[in-house]
Amino acid sequence: MCSSSNEEQLTDYGGQKRQGDHFWLFEPRTKEEAVLGLTRASQLKLDVTIRGSGHSMNGSSIPQKNGLLLLTTSLNKVVLTSDGKIEAEAGAQLLVVDDYIGQFGLKLPIVNDGGDPAPTVGGFICAGGFGVCSKDYGGFWNHIRSLEYWTPKEGVRCITQETEEFWQICASGKPKGVILSASLMTLGQYTGTRVEATLQFKYVVHPNRIWFTFIAPIRKSASLRRALIRLDRDLRQYWEGLPPYEYMIKSQGRGTPDGFYPEHDGSLAAMGVWGEVTTKTAQNIDAIMERVSAFTNRETYAKRYWQSEL
């Protein structure tokens, strides 16, 4: 059992949400160990929270008081099969996987931006996932063949893109079950034999920033950009703002998870505002949140990328 004996409490990336009470920590080293522990936790009716890198900002990877925190960071095994498909356990970080398969002339179509290891495979799937290459290859969901998924009622199952459940898990934020691994498509040609490895989880200290991303159909890009320029100007009095950012997420003709943008099949734009977390930000966090909420209520065509953000 864990607790905090000083002011160092467990937080997520934004540092605004924290847990200072007792909770159980469980860091399985294999999927089998994870399933045993999850089954036992379910029998004991423990409140279970899953945490990958803890890079989300909305408190979704912070355990409940007396609950169980399942940390996936030791579920890091990857298997490269002879057809160039990579099966990655949920705790492997995307950029670490991408780096590993690079030596075989392969790459993942979509990885997180920033250049340093951050989200895990499981966490990125829960978020939705996009990056600079989304302008060509769309969302991360387009490149997942199947998920190995555990739920208390049905145990471990393989969920493929063809099922409704797949689209409910991707970009759901906090799915009802646990993603144990994912079979991912890669770019490049591989003709070698099956190889497997256990990758090292890499803790990286990233700049302390918070951000708010909004997703909208591509035809609404101009409206969203104009509205965000106004929001950015307004927020500058409350934080050390950075220049707004934008991405295009090209439709691959295979649908979009409702959790990412509901009932939409075409290309999307993801744009946002961000700022450094300084004393000024901390003092003004309520004012920032108020303005972001008002923005969401006003710009009804835009959906917050809420999973990863305050």
Contact positions vs ligand FAD (CB under 6 A) = 12-13, 49-56, 60-61, 72, 90, 112-114, 118-120, 122-124, 126-127, 129-131, 173-175, 178-179, 206, 307-308
Closest to ligand FAD by CB, 50 vs 231, is 50
Closest to ligand FAD by CB, 125 vs 190, is 125
Residue nearest to ligand FAD (CB): 123
Residue 5 CB, nearest approach to ligand FAD (Å)? 23
Residue 62 CB, nearest approach to ligand FAD (Å)? 9
Residue 171 CB, nearest approach to ligand FAD (Å)? 9
Residue 165 CB, nearest approach to ligand FAD (Å)? 13
Residue 120 CB, nearest approach to ligand FAD (Å)? 3
Residue 252 CB, nearest approach to ligand FAD (Å)? 16
d(CA 269, CA 97): 26
Closest to ligand FAD by CB, 13 vs 239, is 13
Give the sign of the dihedral formed by CA 159, CA 180, CA 64, CA 201: negative
> Phi and psi for 19 in degrees, rounded to 5?
-130, 115
Closest to ligand FAD by CB, 56 vs 84, is 56
Q: Which alpha helices (H) appear in 59-93, and where do they start and end?
A: none
Structure-block tokens of residue 107: 């790459």
Are 241 and 209 within 8 A, CB to CB? no
Closest to ligand FAD by CB, 61 vs 284, is 61
Closest CA to 51 of 23, 78, 77: 23
Closest CA to 12 of 57, 67, 74: 57
Closest to ligand FAD by CB, 69 vs 224, is 69
Structure-block tokens of residue 290: 């108020």
Q: Give the CA dihedral 184, 189, 194, 198, nearest 10 degrees.
A: -50
SS3 (DSSP) at 302: coil
The HSE-up count of residue 3 (CA atoms within 13 Å, CB side) is 6
